[in-house]
Amino acid sequence: MDNYRFRILLFRFIPKGFISRIFGYMVLVPLPQAIMKRIISWYSVKYGVNLAEAEIPESGFRNLNSFFTRKLKKNTRKIDGNKKSVIAPTDSRVDQFGDIKNDSILQAKGIDYSLHELIPSREAEKFVDGKFITLYLSPGDYHRIHSPVSGEITGFFNIPGKLYTVQEFMVKGLKGLFSVNERLITYIQTPKGTVAVCKIGAMNVGKISLSYNNCVTNGFFRRRNEYFYSAGQRPVINKGDEVGTFNLGSTVILLFQKNMIKFDKLKEGHKVKVGEKIGILS
């Protein structure tokens, strides 16, 4: 058995959800500032965190979670001003992008997964033959998620699932990884069509939270919940506004309806920053 297959097999048996919840509680424990500073300094060097960009409280970060979910200083990220542009919602790495071929989305070379398994809802029909982009957040990246477009939030879908790591060996080795893992999806309606912002959970992501609702993932009482706002009650969101937070790091998948977007000349493995143009609405 090769190393990849062994590691995947190991992850099938370890209690991923329990470990992630324990980790989630641990990072909420307040620590003395002397200890916090040492941990943050080590972590920043190891994972390339640019602390000069961070909005640091006067009294310092109270616990590890407040550091992981840090905000950026005002005007640190410039939001592309073109009204038709679609922006990167996260500081992240472009892993895959392109066409949704009927129901099929590319996960990695030679591996795809089902749109209808990613979004087990009638909403999935909107994205058949549309476009997608998969963005990976590393442990050192800024972990807040922003809207790629301006529009109205029509609803969200909280889908409990597994919490496999989203490291490269798992993405390349476990078919359907993103449609198996826990996820929290935001639907945004624009004049050009609907965008789905799919926030994918992973091991040690204590929870995914929304900025416009108190829904969070990875609780003890987990149930599937798809909620739609009534007309007139939909939150209005501008491009670049915050929509949610990873409490460590994971993956965001953006879905676009057919003929809705034309991607820029992106490259797999290329890093993007919040606000950077990744495409144009058709």
Q: What is the pLDDT of residue 161?
A: 86
What do you get for the CA distance between the two ends of the chain, in Å? 48
Nearest alpha-carbon partner for 217 in 198, 191, 241: 198
- Amino acid present at 72: L
Residue-level pLDDT at 223 = 79
pTM to 2 decimal places? 0.89
**What does the pLDDT read at residue 247?**
80
Please indicate whether residue 146 is annotated as part of the active site. Answer: yes
Give the pLDDT score at 1. Answer: 42
Q: Which of 141, 146, 179, 209 is catalytic?
A: 146
pLDDT tens series, the chain, 282 aa:
455 566 656 656 565 555 555 556 667 788 899 999 999 999 999 999 999 999 999 999 999 889 999 999 999 999 999 999 999 999 999 999 999 999 999 998 889 999 999 999 999 999 999 999 999 999 899 999 999 999 999 999 999 988 787 878 778 877 888 999 999 999 999 999 999 999 998 866 558 889 998 776 655 566 789 999 998 999 999 999 999 999 876 899 999 999 999 999 999 999 999 999 999 998
Cβ atoms within 10 Å, residue 278 = 21
Alpha helices in the chain (DSSP H): 3-13, 16-26, 33-47, 64-68, 115-118, 168-173, 177-180
CA max distance for the chain: 57
Does the active-site annotation cover 282? no
Element (H, E) at 131: strand 131-136
- Rg (alpha carbons) of the chain, rounded to whole number: 18
Annotated catalytic residue within 20, 91, 95, 143: 91
Catalytic residue flag (residue 91)? yes
Whole-number pLDDT of residue 133: 98
Q: What's the pLDDT score for residue 29?
A: 80
Catalytic residue selected from 92, 147, 209, 250? 250
